[in-house]
Structures are given as C-alpha cells and as structure tokens.
Structure 1
Amino acid sequence: MRQHHCAAFVLWLIWQVVGLGVTTQLRAEQASETPGFLTQVTWATVKITNPGSTATGFLVELPSGPWVLVSAAHVFSSMKGDQCTVILHRRGDDGRIVKNPQTVPVRRENKDLWEKHPTADVAVIRVDFERDANLGVLPYECLATEQMLEKLPLEPGLIVRALGFPHANIFNGNPEEFGIARLGCIASYPLLPIKENPRFLVDMNTFEGDSGGPVFALASENKETGAVAGYVIGLVSGQHFVDEEFKLIYQSGKFRHRMGLAIIVPSVFIRETIDRLMASGGN
C-alpha cells in the first residue's frame, strides 16, 4: 500500500510541475499575443470617475506619440475639483490582468486643461501615462474620416458596437471593470455629409455613464488569419426619452420613458478636436 501511495504522490507532483509550466507558458503566450480589433477597443476603453461625473472614455495615440483621453465634453465640464481617476489595466507579474487606476489633472488654477470642440459634444485631454500603464491604446488612424464613413458605407441598418459603463457609480459588469459591450444598428437618415448631420442615432440601449464611449463598426476580415479590422465611427453623447405627464385629483407628475435610441457624435468631430489640441501645442 505504501508503494502505491508513494507512486501516486510522485505522479501528482509531476502533474503539478508540468501543469504549472503549461499555465505559465499559456500566460506568457497570452501576454505576447497581438489583440484583435475588438479586444483592442475593449482595452482602450476606460472608466472615468469623479465626484461630479462618472462616465466612459477611450485612449488614442497621437501621430506624434503621446496619448489623449477622449470623451464627451459634458463629461469633463461636469467634473468637480481639479482631477479625475481613470481606471486602466495592466498585466501583473504573474501575467494576470489587474486594474491600474491613474489620476489625471483636469484643471489648473481654475483653467480647464481639456480641448473642447466648438460645436460638438467632444473633448480630449493629454495624458502622461507610461507606455505599459494600460493594455492597449487606439491609433489615431482608426478614427474614421468622412471618406472612410462613405466606404463602410454608413447607412441605416448598419450593425455597430459600443462600449461603456452604464450607471458606472453603482454597477460593475465585471470585477476588473472593463467596459460593457453593446450591439445595435444605425437608426437615422441621412447621415452624410457630416457638417449637415452632426449627430446620428443608433438603435441601442444606453444609460447614464455610457457618455463618451466609443461606437465602432467592423470594416473587413482577413480570410487567412480571421483577424477583424474596424473603425471608431463616433462616441455616445446621450439618449432619447419621451416624457408623459399625468394629472390626478390629488397628484400630478411625469413618467420618463427610454426610447432605446443613443445619440452619437461622428468620429470626424473627434479627429477635429484632437487636431485642435495638437495645433495648440498640446501634443
């Protein structure tokens, strides 16, 4: 019996060593893998927290190298105080993904540090994060130009996706605090030219906290590798409601109904805002 127990223990020990090696190798391979477009957008989308405004943003790398945080302008203007916290993610020493909160100054001596678009609900701010502070960042080139939107083509019924943090101050969809993905379709028409149509609608549930989240469309698929490419076509600015008033003998009030229609600012205005930041020396 003793020999059987000894043999079993040796086999268990070998399994533990081999299993540990396999696990370590898998983690190393996962850490070195190049993410697909959908994962890259997920990594680049971040939660923004502040006593006056908790919402969504996403990181974009400028052509000159630095990063900017993109969100809706009303997200920044609603912030209280001089800073906010951005929930980034990195890999720990064991290869696991861990949260990496970072403080971002938003005002200095009562002066706003973000760049706002003059007409659209878009703002960007320079962030000085280390290169390994977050798992991913979106390249400036993936922000769709009007020509890219024409080629997609951007039209009613086009399936699009979005990431955000619905009711971010009271709801976490996952322990690591990654954005929640939503699926919808373009709901409004006409969409182009952008200057005459500065907003469009997406048939998609959206809530407080989703503001500033990226809206993106898949563009093509590599048939050999299966890799999917895509473009950010806008960001979430708001949602549509229908208000219904009622009046009784002793009571009156109003019911608010969600229409399930998200208001989106086109990516062209995101590009213009980043260009304004670079032109002002914020690059």
Structure 2
Amino acid sequence: MFVDLTVDLIEATVQLDQPINEAKRMVGTGFLVEVPQPGGAAPQVVLVTAAHVFEKMPAPDVRVGWRYLNAQGTWVYEPSTIKIRTANGPAWYQHPTQDIAVIPVQAPATFKDQAIPQAMLGDETTFVTEKVKAGEEMMTLGYPHGLSANVAGFPILRAGKVASYPLSPSTAYPTFLIDLTAVPGNSGGPVFMTTEGPKGKTFVAGVLIKQVEDDNQRLELGVVADAIFVRETIDIMQRGQATGALSQPRLTPGLPAPVQTPGGPTTDTKDMTDRKTDPAGQAAKPSGATN
C-alpha cells in the first residue's frame, strides 16, 4: 500500500538555536526519532542533527522549537531548552567518522508522539531495494537563515534532485549530493523521498550536513550523510547507555572527501550553522524567536 509520510516528518522536525550575542545566534535543524527498547520497555526519543551544530554552540543549553495543537485547533510555537553539555562534558553521542549526532531528549507530552519510527531511516539496502537513481527528487526540511514556514515554527520544505552516482554502498560512498541551495540553518535537517508505485513508501535517506563551495562560490549543492550513519550512531548511544559509558562526541567527524573538479580547483565544503540578524527573505519567524 502506498504511504506518504511527508507530514509526519514535518511534524517531527524542529529548530535548534542558541544566542551568541545581541546580533547573532547559531541555528540548526533537528528531527525526532523513536527508538525501540529491548525487553518491551517504552521507546526512547532521540534528537538527530549534524554533529557540528552542537559543536559550534558553546553554551550548555540549546533551545528546541516545540509546537503543540491547542484546544482551538491552532498550532502554537512553544520552545524550551535542553542541556547538551554537563559537568562531565558533551551529552550527545557522535558518529566516529561522519557529521552525525544524536541525543536522548524528554520531549513535551504534547510533542513526543511526533517522533518518527526508527524504521523510517534508510539502511544499507534501501537505495537498492527502492531503486533510487541519480536525478530523482528528494526533499529536505530546515530553517534557512533561521526562518520558518509560519509563526507556528514549522520547517520549510524544499526539494532537489539527487546529483550523485553511485549512491551505494555507504562504505564506499558515505555521502551524496543533492541539487539545491543549502544555507545557514539547514544543517541537520532530514533528507527524504517517497518512492512511486503501489508499494511506494517514505524514508529518510540521510541528513543534510554541508553546502558545497568552489573558490568561495556556492555551487547550489548540498552534501547529505547517508541515514545508515544515523542508525549506527543510535547503536553507539544504546551501547553506551547499556555499559554506563559517557558519550564520546569529541571524535572529529570525517568531512566528505574533496572532489577534484575537471580542469578546476578542489571543491570545498562549508557547514551551515551561522545566522546573522535581519536576513533577507519573507518566511515568517516563530513568535518568541531570537534574532
């Protein structure tokens, strides 16, 4: 049966931000995933984002843009903070080679059911079984320049075509390119698609982590880390929780390998976290958002 879960992903995606000074804040995107627990225990909710989003936010608390549906049937933006650093150090878990981080969160009761199931994350076989090809359209959710789709704080949905070939295996090709302009605030957003046909389904293909630049010029390409690394980071978290080991997020994530362009210089990649005040654009800011 065909199932399109785009709205589920929209509702699971949140803005992450931290004021740096009166003129600037760091902004990123995250999304919630519900992780099954052994022995029939209640599932655990984790927040997934790009590791550099947390690394570049120096304070211990980060604001998460929760939302809830009030009695009048209207969505309301109600952010609160979570702690990403404690006396023992960073509280998130990080992939040892990729720019992926997960952190357990206590989502508000009105929001915790918005988390997507872990089964929606692509695995090592997804690109093959779903016959995903270069040129197919994928979508991403985020907060470009810290802007949202409306005052309720929902993310902005954008789309672009897969610009890489081949896409698998992830051991050889851990990241892929998507043809869209990635800007500050998009880091950590889910990249997903809904396949066609009677058995089509929506799945998360990866996490948007970088924009591609060549000689300080944006090439309107985003770099996506394969969703398999989100699964692996969740496994790292669960092993750490089972043994009582602290998270080890200070491992330096491996950047996508530089790409030598034919007849030109090496392509560089830039993260997308900084956000200055008074950006251009007409998207609405959530009420109470910090400029």
Structure 1 position 231 matched with structure 2 position 203: yes
Q: For residue 8 of structure 2, what is the aligned residue in structure 1?
A: 40
Q: Percent identity?
A: 34
Alignment of 1:1-283 (within 5 A): 37-52=5-20, 53-64=26-37, 65-109=43-87, 111-133=89-111, 136-168=114-146, 171-220=147-196, 229-243=201-215, 256-281=216-241
Conserved? CA contact 2:84–2:91, under 8 Å: yes
Q: Distance in 1 between matches of 2:157 and 2:107?
A: 25
* Offset of residue 276 of structure 1: 0.7
Q: Which runs of 5+ in 1 are unaligned?
A: 1-34, 244-255
Determine helix, strand or coil for the equivalent of 1:47. Answer: strand
Q: Which runs of 5+ in 2 are unaligned?
A: 21-25, 38-42, 245-291
- Larger Rg belongs to: 1
* Offset of residue 146 of structure 1: 1.2
Residue 156 of structure 1 aligns with an amino acid whose one-letter code is: A
Conserved? CA contact 1:90–1:135, under 8 Å: no
Runs of 4 or more, structure 1, over 3 Å off, are 220-223
* Offset of residue 229 of structure 1: 3.0
Residue 280 of structure 1 aligns with an amino acid whose one-letter code is: G
Normalized per residue, the structure richer in helix is 1
Determine helix, strand or coil for the equivalent of 1:233. Answer: strand
The structure showing larger relative contact order (alpha-carbon pairs under 8 Å, at least 6 residues apart) is 2
TM, length-normalised to structure 1: 0.77
Q: Distance in 2 between matches of 1:40 and 1:100?
A: 19
Determine helix, strand or coil for the equivalent of 1:236. Answer: strand
* Offset of residue 262 of structure 1: 0.3
* Offset of residue 176 of structure 1: 1.5
Determine helix, strand or coil for the equivalent of 1:167. Answer: helix
Q: Distance in 2 between matches of 1:104 and 1:36?
A: 31
Residue 222 of structure 2 aligns with an amino acid whose one-letter code is: A
1:16-75 deviations in Å (ceiling 9; x for gaps)? xxxxxxxxxxxxxxxxxxx95111110001000112531100000011211000000000
1:192-232 deviations in Å (ceiling 9; x for gaps)? 11011111100111101100000001035669xxxx73000
Q: How many residues align?
A: 231
Determine helix, strand or coil for the equivalent of 1:50. Answer: strand
Conserved? CA contact 2:60–2:86, under 8 Å: yes
Residue 208 of structure 2 aligns with an amino acid whose one-letter code is: V
* Offset of residue 172 of structure 1: 3.7
Determine helix, strand or coil for the equivalent of 2:165. Answer: coil
Conserved? CA contact 1:91–1:98, under 8 Å: yes
Higher alpha-carbon deviation: 125-134 or 200-209 = 125-134
